[in-house]
Amino acid sequence: MLAGRVALVTGATSGIGEAAAIELAQAGAAVMVAGRDAQRAQAVVSVIRARGGVADVALADMRDPAAPDAMVAATVATFGRLDLAFNSAGIFDRMHAFDTYDDASWDEMIAVNLSAVFRCMRAEIRAMLDSGPLPSDSESGSPTVGVIVNNASTVGHRGSERASPAYVAAKHGVIGLTRQAALQYVNRGIRVNAVSPGPTDTPVARPLREAGPDAVREALSHLNPTGRFVSPEEIARTVVFLCSDAAVMINGHDIPLDGGQLARL
């Protein structure tokens, strides 16, 4: 499905990013695994290679404004081009009222979850335009130059009783960046979309998961009508679809992966 294409995944050392890196490689892409933890990144690369895929590591800390440019440059230097990107890196902090939320927390959350996404997109778009059209099986009149998928959240569509003001603001911003870039670059061959997971079975959710299925159902049923976590693999498969020629007319959209959560609001 994605043979001959080069993908970059940020936050690829755990959770959603890790699952997406593995799934993109299984679909045939060469994958640059980007993250802060060298040991974890190498472990993901080892899984991909053991399954017959192609992957390498780019260490990148999204707190560093220079990291996105360096990460993209490393991808192009290693694989010769950049065709696909999934911007999954992010951090989370729990609910704080506006009147008690401090500047340092706000600044870090916006820096990692919004400003870094902008810088990643900027660097990725530049590299994709330089790389030129990629092999395509679609019958679209214009060639595909690249595809970007951003990891947003259901809280990018609403408020939250669980997340902080900065997290909610950043995820709204990610969806805005997605739509803006989609409009600006679709006629230059770049599609940009986002995914918005609901409560996901990542390490953050481990304490609830370990409490058992009944506890999970009780905690989540008022959010996700299915009463269960979204799995990282379910999100990863959607990312692969959005990167594929099957999604050639999907541009500027955010795909909620929430079991119907937003439908009931």
Task: Give residue 214's Cα distance to chain centre.
Answer: 30
Give the C-alpha separation, 258 to 153, whole Å.
Answer: 9
**Helix ranges, 159-205 (H):** 165-185
Give the C-alpha separation, 18 to 85, whole Å.
Answer: 13
Q: Are 101 and 166 in contact (CB under 8 A)?
A: yes
Q: Are 151 and 87 in contact (CB under 8 A)?
A: yes
3-state secondary structure of 142: coil
Residue 101 a catalytic site member? no
Which residue, 108, 186, 175, 179, is CA-closest to 143? 186
Q: Which of 167, 173, 220, 232 is catalytic?
A: 167
Give the C-alpha separation, 112 to 107, whole Å.
Answer: 9
- CA dihedral in degrees (98, 170, 160, 16; nearest 10)? -140
3-state secondary structure of 63: coil
Give the C-alpha separation, 7 to 253, whole Å.
Answer: 20
Q: What is the set of active-site residues?
A: 167
